[in-house]
Copies of this chain bind each other. A is one copy, B any other.
Amino acid sequence: MTVERPFDFLNENVDKTVLVRLKGKKELRGKLKAFDVHMNIVLDEAEELEEGKVISKVGSMLVRGDNIVFISP
């Protein structure tokens, strides 16, 4: 992995499936479609997870960046 700035990491993962850990206990998983400097992101084919289990299929969504703990491929 060669990234110079943290947002290069997001750029490298566009159109790939990522796991998004949210503040609180939930996670989202979906295909990263877009992001901005606030770490607002758009996911496609998204699903919501709790303790590792899918609890709902959400389709596409815009996630507000300030809810995010980390994003991982």
Least CB distance from A46 to B in Å reads: 8
- The copy count of this chain in the complex is 7
> Known interface pairs A1-B33, A34-B3. Does A9 touch B70 (Cβ–Cβ under 8 Å)?
no
Interface size class, chain A: 35 or more
Contact B72 A58 (CB under 8 A): yes
Within the complex, the shortest CB–CB distance from A58 to chain B, in Å, comes to 5
Are A72 and B61 in contact (CB-based, < 8 A)? yes
Enumerate chain B residues within 8 angstroms of A71, measured Cβ to Cβ: 61-62
Cα distance A73–B62 in the bound complex, in angstroms: 9
Return 12 A-B CB contacts under 8 Å, by A number. A3-B42, A6-B40, A7-B36, A7-B40, A9-B33, A9-B34, A9-B60, A22-B69, A23-B67, A59-B73, A60-B72, A62-B71
